[in-house]
Structure 1
Amino acid sequence: MGIEFQILDALQKIHTPILDKCMAAITSLGNAGIIWIILAAVLLIYPKTRKTGIIVAAALIVDLILCNVILKNLIARTRPYDINTAVQIIIAKPHDYSFPSGHTAASFASVAALYLAGAKKGWKIAGVLAVLIAFSRLYFYVHFPTDVLGGIVFGILSGVIGYKIVKKKIG
């Protein structure tokens, strides 16, 4: 865990009031997966994008079960700010466990789902946002780097599983 704290502590040195506000806005987009849920809902409205919306929704459901219900409670990893209490947390402290990063997992589940669904431009834009959300979780000292890495891995896995479920059920 030493190198993980070194990374997190190094990120504490780049804080500025403007960057804090920007990162807070970015991280809030991932709260409860709201930006991705809204995206899925919008995609579901239009017949042309409905199948993509179903795939994104399926990926988010798989992610919720895999990451938030199973893995977080099974692994029960303490958050970095609970170990290094000298760091001042400037956003609301999450009350669940640290591994994997739920914000990151939901983001990358959506990106993978968009990619697999064939959303040519959409997955790239979503990918940039997903990377920013993942980075914000490190910036705010609420996740270890391996939590974010785990979120990426399990998010992509959730996207693949969601895609395969939809392809099997509706083709």
Structure 2
Amino acid sequence: MQTRRDRAWALSRPVHWIIWTVVLFALTIALGFAAKALPALRFAGLDAAVNRVNSPLLDTAALLLDRLDHPVVVAVILVVVFVVLLPLAGWRRALGVCVVTGAAWLTTLVVKYVVAQPRPSTGDLTHLLHVSPATLSYPSGHVVFATALVAALAAVCRTTTARALVLVIGGLLVVAVAWSRLYVGVHYGTDVVGGVLNGVAGAVLMAGLWDLATRRLAPGRAA
């Protein structure tokens, strides 16, 4: 039975989190290989269609969101999240959200190198923005980070209302980030879908590992 001290560390997660992790990562990698083998599954041209609807305001928003996966920006975001959650959830669970988000985001590196999907060409873009993406395309690391952050924040919520609010607002953030990656022309449509799958898979995995690791840190736990 979970003690009060255990609850001070614990994050919400699926009961069968290992199974969910395996299934979600399998779907993520399978989608990546399928899109790599069948160009029709990449939604090629979606980025050009999104890019055609442009304006200076949209440029600013897209370039701002482009910084979302820079290590310094990620660190600042996680520090802000920790400070905001500190009085709401306690330092243990606030730390858990930051660790889960950061570690889940890093899982995208494994998926990228397993699938090894090159970036789309920017030749079809009518409104070219100057960004310097990494070499590999699938999945979108920006979308992975945004999704993992939302999932981790939902895992710290204790009420259904709070969790629903986080998921709605966070869902809008994920959609905005996905739009921005297509707008600047550095991803296929499949990449952002894979980013959502990878973000959820990574968050479920890391939340489960967090709870396993912190069980030993709860003082006064009954044998």
TM-score under structure 1 normalisation?
0.82
| Residues 35 and 54 of structure 1, relative CA distance in 2, 3 Å threshold | farther
Q: Count how many residue pairs are aligned between Structure 1 and Structure 2.
A: 166
Q: How does 1:1-150 map to 2 (within 5 A)?
A: 1-2=39-40, 4-28=43-67, 30-32=68-70, 36-45=74-83, 46=86, 48-49=88-89, 50=91, 51-64=93-106, 66-68=107-109, 70-81=110-121, 84-87=122-125, 89-118=128-157, 120=162, 121-150=165-194
Output the amino acid matched with 1:7.
L
Q: 1:149 to 1:33 in 2, by over 3 A?
A: farther
Higher Cα Rg: structure 1 or 2? Answer: 2
Structure 2 CA distance for partners of 1:39 and 1:54, relative to 1, 3 Å: farther
1:55–1:166 Cα contact (<8 Å) kept: no
Q: Measure how far apart 1:126 and its partner are.
A: 3.3
TM-score (norm 2): 0.65
Q: Tell me, which stretches of 5 or more residues in structure 1 are unaligned?
A: none
Q: Is the 8 A contact 1:113 1:162 kept in 2?
A: no
Question: Equivalents in 2 of 1:18, 1:138: separation in Å?
Answer: 16
Distance 1:59 1:21 in 2: 26
The 1-side partners of 2:182 and 2:123 are apart by 15
